[in-house]
Amino acid sequence: MSDAPSSSIPTPAEVVPIPVAPTSAGRVSGKPWKYTKSATVRSNLPEGVKSKWSERMEKTKKEKAIKQLQTELKEEKQAEIARRREITLERKRAAEEKRRLEEDRAKMGARKAARLRRKAGRTKKLNH
C-alpha cells in the first residue's frame, strides 16, 4: 500500500493555484447585496477639478509667474516713489539750511553794525 501513490494528496507537480477573482483588493466580498465600488462620476464637478493634474499645475505656474511679475513691478514703482520723495526731502533740507545760514549772516551783520555804532559813540565828540 505504501508503494502505490494515493490520489488524495497531490504531488508538487500537480498543485495548480486557484485563480483569484479580479478585484482591486484581490478578494471577493461574501455579501452579495453590497454593490461593488467604482470611481466617482465626475459630470457635475467644476472645471478646475475635472481638468488634468498637469494642466492645473501649468495654470498654477502661470498664475504664480504673473503674480511675481506684478509684485516686482509694484516694488519697482514703490522704490521709484521712495527715491523721488527722498530727493524732494533732500532739496527741502538743503533749502532750509541755506535759509538758516542767510539768517545767521544777516544777524551777524546786524550785530557787527550795532557793535561798530557803540564803538563809534564812545568818543566825546560823537556823543555830544
For 79-112, write each residue's pLDDT tens digit: 999 999 999 999 999 999 999 989 988 888 888 8
Domain span holding position 91: 53-123
Domain count, the chain: 1
Residues in the chain: 128
Reading the block at residue 20, the C-alpha cell is 483569484
Asked whether residue 102 is assigned to any structural domain, the reply reads: yes
Angstrom distance (rounded) from CA 6 to CA 15:
14
pTM for the structure as a whole: 0.42
Asked whether residue 18 is assigned to any structural domain, the reply reads: no
